[in-house]
Structure 1
């Protein structure tokens, strides 16, 4: 099979590889569309870890392990591949564990399905494991303000949607070029607001405080975790607050002791948070089918695996404004 190996740069080499074999609890999936995420270029560059870094799979089941009961050959599925392991999504065939695989609804395209898994699960892990906020089936009964930094990103917009489904409000969102995209999900009657990060750090901090309107701010989801985002949050939140970030931070000398920082790592759904991964993949499928959960818009990068370099370069250069770059594998030359 054809497989894309991502190296620092990003540089991408298309190689011929054996079709991977699923274990007893995995599925082999023919990848119709692969998604992409910033970590796909960061791991090879930051950690010198070249490889097939794709993790967002949308395709058709080819083979299942003997313990797999929910899926069969020919099923349309979307799945989250286990990061850094063999069988990634930048290939004609990929592997996924059954608990992070879900049926793709008939009304959802492969492109839409490929835009969901990693980012949406990252949102869920951050909200429910690290911030310990109410979940959609046990929604908040009291006003629960939440600050979302980078709300237009895929992780950010999925955090917005899950928070709304759980009755969490008001939502204080920080965004830039894609403010209109975020606005479409907010309810100003509940106090939801957007702050434009392009106005500068001081304006962001003051805007968050103003939006709080005297309320205690105890929860923040930092979907950016760069360029001073968590520092700005620490200046605006109340003592005792928790910030969850999606990247490592060097915060010890900057953040007040009264503010806790907890790092969200979506890989936990393949370790200690398997049940969370299982439940939320199926919840996303139900939401896509019924329309209460919307995929981040997609831009198809032409060329299949030959387009992976372009897509990851666009991510590195910050060109993903409220979109997910996806690849139709059959277009590979």
Structure 2
């Protein structure tokens, strides 16, 4: 099979090499997916750049959609030929940028007939990042938790910073499904998209970060219905959490979750509980949230069937796996706004095993 290896270095464009690799063999509770569409996330370029010189070239992709190709021992929920999407275990071999990907059964979910492989490939990593942050880090109500201690506390507003990103948009979709309002969203070029997710009748607003930090803080404070206690920072840089902390209550009980690991968020006051949302937790890194992952991937599938959940806007990059380098560099250069870059694996036919 063809597989893409990614290399990066600070202040340089990323490079990819397409090689021939063996099709992986599934272990217990694993399956192999014959990929139809694969997707990219910001971590796919950040890891090669940050770890430049410390890691060999690697297949950094984790979002896949396609057909079940082979089953490992103990897998009973899926059958060969099923249409599925899956979250590959980060930093492990046999990632998404390939014709076949190895995935765990508990981070794989069925795609209903009406859901395209393109839509399915936008969901696995970003939507689960939203679920982990909302439920395991912030402790906000899940859609079926009609009686929940945090429901009343959330009525002052929940801040979602970076609302047009895939993670931010999925956060909003899950808050809306749980009827948690008002949602105090912050976005820029993707404001039009975000407005389509919100319910202004329930107090939801979107604030434009392009107007500057002072206006962001002012706008969030004006929209809040009291002491704001919850914030999901899907950006976690460029002043995002500093702005958020000026709006969150300083009286105690407020919480913020961030998405960039390895940073020291020293500017966050001690009165605000901070956490980092690590989607790898559903694979046990750093904590074990496998049960949450199992449950929510199945709920994503149900939501797609019933229509209350959907994927993210996307753009298919030409060239199949040969286009991965273009998508990664677009992400690195900040060109993506309210869009996920996808690659149709079949479009890779005829590409030689050479540097792209």
Correspondence for 1:34:
38
Superposed displacement of residue 250, structure 1: 2.4
Aligned partner of 2:316 among 300, 304, 308 = 300
Question: Once superposed, what is the RMSD of the aligned Cα atoms?
Answer: 1.1
Correspondence for 1:278:
294
Correspondence for 1:259:
272
Correspondence for 1:187:
199
Does residue 43 (structure 1) correspond to residue 47 (structure 2)? The answer is yes
Stretch deviating more after TM superposition (285-294 or 52-61): 285-294
In the alignment, the residues of structure 2 paired with residue 291 and residue 2 of structure 1 have an alpha-carbon distance, to the nearest angstrom, of 35
CA contact (8 A) 2:156 2:224 kept: no
Equivalent positions of 1:1-333 (< 5 A) are 1-8=1-8, 9-48=13-52, 49=55, 50-139=57-146, 142=152, 143=155, 145-213=157-225, 215-239=226-250, 240=252, 241-248=254-261, 249-252=263-266, 254-271=267-284, 272-332=288-348, 333=351
In the alignment, the residues of structure 2 paired with residue 290 and residue 320 of structure 1 have an alpha-carbon distance, to the nearest angstrom, of 29
In the alignment, the residues of structure 2 paired with residue 315 and residue 55 of structure 1 have an alpha-carbon distance, to the nearest angstrom, of 15
In the alignment, the residues of structure 2 paired with residue 98 and residue 250 of structure 1 have an alpha-carbon distance, to the nearest angstrom, of 34
CA contact (8 A) 1:26 1:95 kept: yes
In the alignment, the residues of structure 2 paired with residue 279 and residue 98 of structure 1 have an alpha-carbon distance, to the nearest angstrom, of 12
In the alignment, the residues of structure 2 paired with residue 173 and residue 52 of structure 1 have an alpha-carbon distance, to the nearest angstrom, of 34
In the alignment, the residues of structure 2 paired with residue 127 and residue 251 of structure 1 have an alpha-carbon distance, to the nearest angstrom, of 19
Superposed displacement of residue 47, structure 1: 1.7
In the alignment, the residues of structure 2 paired with residue 255 and residue 85 of structure 1 have an alpha-carbon distance, to the nearest angstrom, of 33
Number of aligned residue pairs: give it. Answer: 331
In the alignment, the residues of structure 2 paired with residue 29 and residue 36 of structure 1 have an alpha-carbon distance, to the nearest angstrom, of 17
Equivalent residue of 1:124, what SS? helix
Stretch deviating more after TM superposition (241-250 or 292-301): 241-250
In the alignment, the residues of structure 2 paired with residue 212 and residue 45 of structure 1 have an alpha-carbon distance, to the nearest angstrom, of 39
TM-score, normalised via structure 2 length: 0.91
In the alignment, the residues of structure 1 paired with residue 276 and residue 96 of structure 2 have an alpha-carbon distance, to the nearest angstrom, of 25
Moved over 4 A (4+): none
In the alignment, the residues of structure 1 paired with residue 280 and residue 73 of structure 2 have an alpha-carbon distance, to the nearest angstrom, of 24
CA shift digits 1:137-188 (9 cap, x unpaired): 1146532520000001000000000011112110000001111101111111
CA shift digits 1:264-320 (9 cap, x unpaired): 000000110001110111111111111111211110001111000000111111111
CA shift digits 1:110-162 (9 cap, x unpaired): 00000000000000000000000000111465325200000010000000000
